[in-house]
Structure 1
Amino acid sequence: MKKGAALDGHRPTAGTAAGASASPVADVPTRDRVTQLLLERGATTAAQLGTALGLSPAAIRRHLDAMLADGDVVAREEAVRGHRRRGRPAKVFLLTDAARVRCGTHHYDNMATAALRWIARTGGSAAVETFAAEQVAALEARCQAALADAGDDPLARAAALAAALTAEGYAASATAIATGGQLCQHHCPVAHVAAEFPQLCEAETAVISRLVGTHVQRLATIAHGDGVCTTHIPTQPGREQSGRTVTTVRTDR
């Protein structure tokens, strides 16, 4: 993305009247920014995108309509948990698989999937689980080093883990919520492979549990069609579980 690009991607120039339509080339920087926000945040409303980019509702709608037509985004109703407000749910936008690929994600998916299929055929599910655990071992070691000064509080460790995962390319964030904490990963480099082999997600969740030092719940994953991988960290951890238990909970059904 070019520095100094106009936020709305079509700042008038000397040869363009203020009210004239922007050229497709001039729209590219803004579409890059929209793509980056959707990559980082997952499912997002047009209003949220417009606010983040400083665009009017009409301007952000123009970009989203173009991206819908090009197959870069899809729209769906926002999932509402708990009490549902009156009226229709807001519409949210997500990147398509093709757009994620152009962001540099999912490299070597076909080869990785073929390799895991071979492992499953020759060694069974246990062999896939062992492979998945070994794959995340190096990541765990690097993140463990990054958490050396984070203390014992699970939420403080989650915040440090989010920074470590972001450095690893996961675009992660950690927030405190009423029931504890929430760790979100806005990018998954193996989402396509994990869609067929959930052992990869399970191994990663086990790593998160060990690193934050408490029981965690995986609420959503990009591999299963969610916009963000979301892990819940309860306020009152079950210490009797020695901080090693992992629970996967699907909340999008």
Structure 2
Amino acid sequence: MPSVTGHTERDTRARVARLILEHGPVTASTLGERVGLTPAAIRRHLDALLADGMIEVRKARTPQTRRGRGRPAKWFAITDAGRSAFVHAYDDLATSALRFLAETVGEHAVAEFARRQIADLERRYRPVVQEAPPHQRVRTLAEALSSDGYAAAAAQAPRPGGGEQLCQHHCPVAHVAAEFPQLCEAETEAFSRLLGTPVQRLATIAHGDGICTTHVSPRSLCGTGDEERPLNGDEESGGTSL
């Protein structure tokens, strides 16, 4: 049946791409051995992945990769686009799981899940942020977020009344948060507790903005903020997620 054949082709191609993601750069011969395909078949899948921009050809890494007097073996590596495709697949799975949780247990369960997910990040960041001088805590939080891949930065807020802005140029859960804003809300609450001052989410990548932007109120209006705060989200943070 054509549909079965097409499905099998897609599955095999996805398996080849995953092997390149997990073990690349890797040669066509190695891929063929792992998947059990003939040289012609593996080349067909590699050509398709190259055409789709999922993989790229790398130069031979060492002189030993040359095969006799012939051309050097080609090494195939995953591209950023290929890596993103796998990320989106995981996003789809996470979205389906949260949708099931909301339908079977309720929206409150999604919110609790979001708070638990952010709790580990909050515990890791708390000692680093609290050791920093008060006027450097937003910048310190931005550096901690950047170390986890959020590409964050801190800057003075342009709005009247002062304060600072925490800007995140990357969000690893943006596609999931587009349907479940509880993830953004839990993060906003955690920022408020870590910084010891009210914060307000002004923009999010999940809602189509280019950057996740959080306004941090001036600490001079909010006391010292050095007291330990609970991680379960029961205490009102003063933050608002838009």
- Normalised to the residue count of structure 2, the TM-score between the two structures is 0.56
Deviation at residue 213 of structure 1 after TM alignment: 0.9
The residue type equivalent to 2:132 in the other structure is A
Deviation at residue 195 of structure 1 after TM alignment: 0.2
Name which of structure 1's ranges 160-169 and 98-107 shifts more when overlaid on structure 2: 98-107
The 1:134/1:173 distance shift into structure 2, 3 A limit, reads same
TM superposition outliers: structure 1 runs of 4+ over 4 Å? 98-101, 103-107
1:147 matched to 2:129: yes
1:156 matched to 2:132: no
CA displacement 1:55-77 (0-9 Å, x = unmatched): xxxxxxxxxxxxxxx9xxxxxxx
Structure 1 or 2, whichever has the larger Rg, is 2
> Residue 174 of structure 1 is aligned with which of 137, 154, 169?
154
1:244 aligned residue: 237
Q: Is the 8 A contact 1:175 1:183 kept in 2?
A: yes
- How is 1:208-227 mapped onto 2 (pairs within 5 angstroms)? 208-227=191-210
The structure with the largest helix share of the pair is: 2
The 1:175/1:161 distance shift into structure 2, 3 A limit, reads same
CA displacement 1:99-121 (0-9 Å, x = unmatched): 69639754601110011011101
- How is 1:83-162 mapped onto 2 (pairs within 5 angstroms)? 102=84, 105-106=87-88, 108-151=90-133, 153=134, 155-162=135-142
The residue type equivalent to 2:241 in the other structure is T
CA distance in structure 2 between the aligned counterparts of 1:118 and 1:105, rounded to whole angstroms: 20
1:165 aligned residue: 145
- How is 1:191-202 mapped onto 2 (pairs within 5 angstroms)? 191-202=174-185
RMSD of aligned Cα (Å): 2.7
Identical columns (%): 53
CA distance in structure 2 between the aligned counterparts of 1:214 and 1:130, rounded to whole angstroms: 22
The residue type equivalent to 2:107 in the other structure is S
The 1:135/1:237 distance shift into structure 2, 3 A limit, reads farther
Q: Is the 8 A contact 1:106 1:191 kept in 2?
A: no
CA distance in structure 2 between the aligned counterparts of 1:140 and 1:213, rounded to whole angstroms: 13
CA distance in structure 1 between the aligned counterparts of 2:100 and 2:220, rounded to whole angstroms: 38
- Normalised to the residue count of structure 1, the TM-score between the two structures is 0.54
Deviation at residue 247 of structure 1 after TM alignment: 1.7
CA displacement 1:212-238 (0-9 Å, x = unmatched): 110001000000000000000123665
The 1:104/1:232 distance shift into structure 2, 3 A limit, reads farther
Deviation at residue 147 of structure 1 after TM alignment: 1.5
CA displacement 1:151-184 (0-9 Å, x = unmatched): 3x2x421110000000011000001234210000
Q: Secondary structure at the match of 2:201?
A: strand
